[in-house]
Amino acid sequence: MRTACSGRSISCGRLMLARPNAGAVRPSASATEPLFSFGVIADVQYADIPDGRSFLGVPRYYRHSLAVLRRAVRSWNAHGGVRFCVNFGDIVDGFCPRDRSLAAVRAVVREFDGFRGGPAYHMLGNHCLYNLPRSELVSELRMPSPPGRAYYDFSPWPGYRFVVLDAYDFSAVGRARGDPVAAAARRFLEARNPNRDKNSPSGLEGAARRFVMFNGGVGSAQLRWLDGVLRGAAARREKAVVCSHLPVHPGAASPTGLMWNYEEVAAVVRRHGGCVVACLAGHDHKGGYAVDDRGVHHRTLEAALECPPGTDAFGRVEVYPDRLRLVGSDRMASTEMLLNSSSSDSVSSTG
């Protein structure tokens, strides 16, 4: 019987276990060489400003984060099998002076351009949208999406499908106040968050704490698109990995870090649970990990922004026929995610 792992993960150095069935952790035995690998990094939030702190008092290293990305690219280049990399949003910080926003975005993109293994895939985060309009970001980040959209899919290897979501498709962030989507998002928040400051979760409890301005949701058209992409992937017997700036499982993030309509996205994922093997995300800087009752792995990646000088948070994911293995660097915990049905009730982690 498959057992769900829920609750926040325990990260000990480069070891990640998931509660509550950490006792089931055991090593896996399968192919020794991955089919392919891809690089991952989240929440660089670069800005050419002095270091600061989050509203919770956590130190943030705005300039050093670019050095973290530079070392990530160097590491990916050193491993010949890394075919592409994924940036999980928030490449620049909201405190970046607006007259330097475009230069900051381009400075980060230049670092990604140093990656020699293949393309770099980006997605929108709230801090990106604090700096530039979404249409300009889609262009600057070279998203392979149709005009007017910031979500897309691609297949980097036969039998594998990657889906990149726009977690701020339904949001008041990054849109003019008179925009109908922004107006609808504000009404949505007004009905769920009584605080004058809509970025404050004060008084909200449990998963309701996600109803804050710095989060967003996936709109109905994107939900239908996601369902169609996953249906097609299932018909082709592809394994799918869903990527989003915002997490979609409450066990893999704090309540304030969740997508507004994570339950709707999770329902689509569950509908295609035999196809979707993992959901990867950023946004919640501490990181997290959970496995749902369909065996889908939910991994929230630790932020590059919060690495003190001399430390790192990036990784590469090795893809095997029966597992994904996140090889983390320093503050990003390594995590092994088993995919084969005979061992999907266990979670393996590496030190």
For 230-241, what is each residue's pLDDT tens digit?
999 999 999 999
Confidence at residue 340, expressed as pLDDT on a 0 to 100 scale: 53
**Exposed, middle or buried: residue 297 (CB in 10 Å: 0-12, 13-18, 19+)?**
buried
- CB-CB contact of 20 with 6 (8 Å): yes
Domain assignment present for residue 231? The answer is: yes
The per-residue pLDDT for range 296-325, each reduced to its tens digit, is 999 999 999 999 999 999 999 999 999 999
Rounded CA gap, 125 and 282, in Å? 9
Please give the tally of structural domains in the chain: 1
pTM metric for this prediction: 0.90
Structural domain contains residue 138: yes
Is position 198 within any domain? Answer: yes
Query: Looking at the domain assignment, is residue 13 inside a domain?
Result: no
Taking the CA atoms of residue 145, residue 278, residue 304 and residue 135 in that order, the dihedral angle to the nearest 10 degrees is: 20
- Residue 347 covered by a domain: no
pLDDT at 144 over 90: yes
The domain spanning residue 323 has which CATH number?
Answer: 3.60.21.10
Q: Is residue 252 part of a domain?
A: yes
**Structural domain harbouring 264:** 36-338
Q: Which residue has the tokens 């984060």?
A: 65
Asked if 259 and 297 count as a contact pair (C-beta separation under 8 A), the reply is no
Q: Give percent of the chain above pLDDT 70.
A: 88
241 sits in the region (left: phi over 0; alpha: psi -120 to 50; else beta) called beta
Alpha helix (H) ranges present in 122-243? 126-131, 134-140, 180-190, 220-235
Mean pLDDT calculated for residue range 322-338: 97
Residue 20 covered by a domain: no
8 A C-beta contact, residue 69 and residue 112: yes
Q: What is the pLDDT of residues 257-267, one digit of tens each?
A: 999 999 999 99
Q: Is residue 116 part of a domain?
A: yes
pLDDT digits (tens, 9 = 90+) for 94-104: 999 999 999 99
